Amino acid sequence: MNSVWVLSVLYFVLAGLLEIGGGYLVWLWFRDGRPWWVGSIGALLLIGYGIVPTFQPAHFGRVYAAYGGVFVWMSVLWGWWIDGKPPDRWDLVGAALCIAGVAVIMYAPRSA
């Protein structure tokens, strides 16, 4: 497996954890009445999410288009593992389609 590809996937996963985790903490603060510092930590994580994708080797549009698919897949997993809401088959089919799109957008062979 190509080390650039592996690093790119790790950046996507890290960005997803930062965005979903940060958004979740802001959600808990704003919607569920958690302390202000919970929302503040969420905001800091969201700033980290804004930085991590800049390490991707591709250009902005490609990275963010592909990241949308990663976000869908990771959000389904977050809902299942953290919120305890298991996905149904259509959630899984949709997330799989998104990941297929990520693979095409980011890793399909291209001519120079």
Q: How far is CA 109 from CA 3, 60, 70, 112, in A?
A: 16, 18, 20, 10
In a domain, 46, yes or no: yes
Look up the domain containing 15 and give its range: 3-107
In a domain, 50, yes or no: yes
Query: Which segments in the chain show pLDDT lower than 50?
Result: none
In a domain, 15, yes or no: yes
In a domain, 112, yes or no: no
Q: Number of folded domains in the chain?
A: 1
| pLDDT of the residue at 1 | 63
In a domain, 10, yes or no: yes
Give the integer Cα–Cα distance in Å for 105 and 65.
8
Percentage of the chain lying above the pLDDT 70 cut: 98
In a domain, 85, yes or no: yes
In a domain, 96, yes or no: yes
Q: What is the pTM of this model?
A: 0.87
Give the integer Cα–Cα distance in Å for 21 and 9.
18
| pLDDT of the residue at 112 | 64
Instruction: Give residue-wise pLDDT tens across range 80-92.
Output: 999 899 999 999 9
In a domain, 21, yes or no: yes
| pLDDT of the residue at 2 | 82
| pLDDT of the residue at 31 | 97
